[in-house]
């Protein structure tokens, strides 16, 4: 009888070229997005062009898969998933012992131990994703290490904090290829050097231990002073940051169908081990794919996903630069800022057609409430036009903030006899306002971008935006005031609150800025 030799565990190495060409459904939006980010990281790290001219040549004449496989072959060994004798992708090199966890715990929204004990896993059930193939496991590992929230004492968050917002550029051409959708987010080496200075070094074989953290022992963080600072890190390390101490379990493999993508595998991964106090990254490490906010003390923080998702109030900061008081100090991701250079040189005829793909978890501390994936227009103008455009849009946003504040305030007065003593922010009113005015806002933004150089265009559009805000506020007030939980439906109180709303919409300084010379007391019919 022929005896079959056991499959060597080290054969479980992913061909990383496949990641850049693989478009199979992974069953979850967070994994789909993480795969896109992982593919960008691979191209950025191992195939980065020298300058923008080199970048554009490869954008138009992409290498085929065979050429990419050839170029990635020397580093493919670093992406082994199960290698008991050496480095393994996104895993602690020297981990001993550790707490065993089911493989589903790599997913950020998997119920934790207390949730399971209290039988509170109502919406995300236990038992799913109990066995996954090596490809899906690689993406799950990358997603956890990149987006990791706090996981308890010593279980570190990702380099950008828990649930960071990632922003990727989508090409302006209709029918852009999968390669172009990835490559447009790859930065030339010259851009990295300008952004990171001495922190960005070469990518010679001797640099891989500085770039890929699983090739060296973890700098454990039981004590203060163990943080990673920008001066300690190769710029490309930022794409591969590894805060969690994890080692996949090679003793619990099994054959069957992957519960993520459905493929059959003889070596499905079912379990891993983990310890706390992994690499601890300082907040000053700036990831090239995320926008950041600078606080009054000058400290920078990656913008996170938020409840209800992003709205147009967030758009200006993550796509250009927003200096409105409500979003002071927001700056776009480096990859978005670099697109402005690319657009100047190569996409002038399609300046208004690119888009911004934004995704991230909305986290409540350690709990994932939702994963949001949204797209916004990405507008590119020349420097002179951009200043004027930016100034006008900021006045629109200030006016919109004032309008939604007034709406929320007077809906509360319409509902409650003693509104000031009622707790709660009526966030549902604000969320509905932003959702209902979203389409109108971007329609006006498109008009502004096309007409910005025409005399009088901004003034005309300002008045149009003021009318739209008036219309939506009054319409939404009527809906909320009459259909909401108003105490005793006191019509005198409701009418009084509406009159206050009308007055505020006409007298608020931010709204007066855009309404021009109109006295505003008489709301035009049909507006």
- 149: closest CA among 366, 370, 372, 302? 366
Mean pLDDT computed over 234-244: 95
Is residue 331 assigned to a domain? no
Angle, in degrees to the nearest 10, between helices 29-46 and 65-72:
70
In angstroms, what CA-CA distances link 489 with 124, 355, 411, 427?
39, 45, 12, 21
Mean pLDDT computed over 379-408: 91
Which residue matches tokens 């995300």?
124
- What pLDDT sits at residue 118? 40
Is residue 109 assigned to a domain? yes
CB atoms closer than 10 angstroms to residue 236: 25
φ/ψ of residue 24, rounded to 5: -65, 150
How do strand 355-364 and strand 367-377 relate by DSSP bridges?
A: antiparallel
Instruction: Reduce the DSSP state of residue 264 to 3 states and report it.
Output: strand
Answer yes or no: do 139 and 264 share one domain: yes
Is residue 509 assigned to a domain? yes
Contact (CB, 8 A) for 190 and 217: no
CB atoms closer than 10 angstroms to residue 39: 25
Domain end, chosen from 253, 275, 297, is at 275
pLDDT band of 488, cuts 50, 70, 90: low
Question: What is the DSSP-derived secondary structure letter of residue 170?
Answer: E
Residue 113 has pLDDT above 60, yes or no: no
pLDDT band of 8, cuts 50, 70, 90: very low
- What pLDDT sits at residue 264? 93
Mean pLDDT computed over 477-485: 83
- What pLDDT sits at residue 328? 61
Mean pLDDT computed over 487-499: 86
Residue 513 has pLDDT above 80, yes or no: yes
Q: How far apart are CA 237 and CA 520, in angstroms?
A: 56
Residue 186 has pLDDT above 90, yes or no: yes
φ/ψ of residue 277, rounded to 5: 65, 50
Q: How far apart are CA 524 and CA 508, in angstroms?
A: 18
Answer yes or no: do 259 and 392 share one domain: no
How many independent structural domains does the chain possess?
Answer: 2
How remote is the C-alpha of 335 from its chain's centroid?
13
Q: How far apart are CA 204 and CA 26, in angstroms?
A: 33
Residue 377 has pLDDT above 50, yes or no: yes
Is residue 350 assigned to a domain? no
The 3-state secondary structure of 423-487 reads CCCCHHHHHHHHHHHHHHHHHHHHHHHHHCCCCCHHHHHHHHHHHHHHHHHHHHHHHHHHHCCCH
Residues 6+ apart with CB under 8 A from 484: 411, 414, 415
Q: How far apart are CA 78 and CA 185, in angstroms?
A: 23
Contact (CB, 8 A) for 285 and 233: yes
Q: How far apart are CA 17 and CA 162, in angstroms?
A: 29
Q: Measure the CA angle with vertex 75, ends 74 and 80; round to 5°.
A: 125
Domain end, chosen from 275, 293, 321, is at 275
Residue 36 has pLDDT above 50, yes or no: yes
- What pLDDT sits at residue 85? 79
Domain end, chosen from 254, 275, 296, is at 275
Cα dihedral: 473, 476, 477, 482 (round 10): 170
Residue 120 has pLDDT above 60, yes or no: no
Residue 523 has pLDDT above 50, yes or no: no
Answer yes or no: do 388 and 516 share one domain: yes
Q: How far apart are CA 390 and CA 150, in angstroms?
A: 37
Q: How far apart are CA 495 and CA 478, in angstroms?
A: 10
- 424: closest CA among 436, 408, 435? 408
pLDDT band of 292, cuts 50, 70, 90: very high
The pair of structure tokens assigned to 398 is 């200030």
Q: How far apart are CA 231 and CA 237, in angstroms?
A: 12
Contact (CB, 8 A) for 401 and 324: yes
Instruction: Tell which wins on pLDDT, 12 or 391.
Output: 391
Q: What is the mean pLDDT of the chain?
A: 86
Mean pLDDT computed over 163-174: 94
Express each pLDDT in 314-343 by its tens digit: 999 999 865 554 556 889 999 999 998 999
Among the listed ranges 17-26, 39-48, 371-380, which one has the minimum average pLDDT value?
A: 17-26
Is residue 358 assigned to a domain? no
Is residue 167 assigned to a domain? no
Express each pLDDT in 205-230 by its tens digit: 778 999 999 999 999 999 888 899 98
- 399: closest CA among 289, 325, 310, 489? 325
* Strand ranges, E, within 42-186: 99-102, 166-170
In angstroms, what CA-CA distances link 384 with 348, 353, 380?
15, 20, 11
N-terminal to C-terminal alpha carbon distance within the chain: 86
Is residue 359 assigned to a domain? no
Is residue 97 assigned to a domain? yes
Host domain of residue 506: 383-527
Mean pLDDT computed over 414-428: 80
Percent of the chain with pLDDT over 90: 60
Mean pLDDT computed over 1-12: 43
Helix, strand, coil content of the chain in percent (nearest 5)? 50, 10, 40
- What pLDDT sits at residue 86? 87
- 313: closest CA among 385, 372, 399, 379? 399
Contact (CB, 8 A) for 309 and 435: no
Instruction: Tell which wins on pLDDT, 372 or 423.
Output: 372
- What pLDDT sits at residue 199? 59
- What pLDDT sits at residue 122? 36
Contact (CB, 8 A) for 309 and 362: yes
- 166: closest CA among 18, 330, 302, 312? 302
Residue 295 has pLDDT above 70, yes or no: yes
pLDDT band of 201, cuts 50, 70, 90: low
- 128: closest CA among 27, 246, 250, 58? 27
Q: How far apart are CA 518 and CA 527, in angstroms?
A: 14
pLDDT band of 83, cuts 50, 70, 90: confident
Gyration radius of the chain over CA positions: 26
């Amino acid at each position: 009888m022929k005896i079959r030799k056991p499959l060597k565990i080290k054969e479980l190495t992913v061909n990383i070229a496949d990641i850049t060409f693989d478009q199979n459904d992974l069953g979850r939006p967070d994994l789909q997005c993480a795969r896109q980010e992982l593919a960008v990281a691979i191209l950025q790290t191992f195939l980065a062009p020298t300058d923008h001219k080199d970048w554009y040549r490869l954008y138009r004449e992409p290498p085929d898969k065979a050429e990419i496989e050839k170029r990635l072959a020397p580093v493919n060994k670093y992406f082994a998933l199960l290698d008991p004798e050496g480095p393994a992708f996104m895993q602690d090199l020297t981990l001993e012992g550790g707490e065993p966890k089911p493989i589903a715990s790599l997913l950020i929204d998997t119920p934790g131990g207390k949730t399971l004990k209290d039988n509170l896993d109502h919406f995300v059930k236990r038992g799913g994703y109990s066995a996954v193939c090596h490809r899906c496991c690689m993406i799950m590992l990358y997603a956890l290490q990149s987006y990791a929230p706090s996981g308890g004492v010593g279980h570190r968050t990702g380099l950008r904090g828990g649930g960071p917002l990632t922003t990727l550029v989508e090409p302006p051409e209709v029918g852009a290829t999968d390669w172009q959708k990835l490559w447009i987010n790859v930065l030339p080496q010259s851009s990295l050097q300008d952004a990171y200075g001495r922190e960005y070094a070469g990518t010679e074989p001797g640099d891989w231990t500085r770039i890929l953290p699983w090739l060296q022992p973890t700098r454990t963080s039981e004590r203060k002073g163990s943080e990673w600072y920008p001066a300690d890190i190769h710029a490309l390390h930022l794409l591969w940051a590894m805060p969690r101490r994890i080692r996949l379990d090679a003793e619990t493999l099994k054959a069957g169908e992957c519960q993520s993508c459905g493929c059959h595998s003889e070596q499905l991964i079912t379990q891993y081990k983990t310890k706390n106090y992994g690499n601890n990254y300082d907040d000053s490490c700036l990831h090239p794919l995320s926008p950041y906010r600078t606080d009054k003390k000058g400290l920078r923080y990656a913008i996170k996903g938020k409840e209800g998702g992003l709205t147009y109030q967030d758009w200006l900061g993550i796509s250009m630069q927003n200096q409105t008081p409500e979003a002071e100090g927001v700056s776009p991701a480096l990859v978005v800022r670099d697109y402005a250079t690319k657009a100047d040189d190569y996409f002038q005829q399609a300046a208004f057609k690119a888009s911004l793909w934004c995704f991230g978890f909305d986290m409540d501390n350690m709990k994932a409430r939702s994963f949001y994936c949204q797209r916004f227009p990405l507008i590119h103008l020349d420097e002179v036009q951009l200043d004027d455009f930016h100034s006008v849009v900021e006045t629109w946003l200030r006016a919109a903030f004032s309008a939604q504040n007034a709406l929320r305030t007077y809906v509360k007065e319409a509902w409650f006899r003693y509104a000031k003593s009622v707790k709660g922010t009526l966030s549902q009113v604000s969320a509905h306002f932003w959702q209902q005015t979203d389409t109108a806002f971007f329609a006006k933004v498109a008009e502004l971008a096309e007409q910005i150089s025409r005399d009088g265009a901004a003034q005309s559009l300002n008045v149009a935006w003021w009318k739209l805000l008036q219309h939506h506020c009054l319409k939404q007030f009527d809906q909320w005031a009459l259909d909401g939980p108003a105490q005793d439906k006191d019509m005198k109180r409701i009418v009084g609150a509406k009159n206050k709303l009308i007055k505020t919409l006409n007298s608020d300084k931010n709204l007066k800025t855009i309404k021009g010379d109109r006295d505003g007391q008489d709301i035009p019919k049909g507006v």
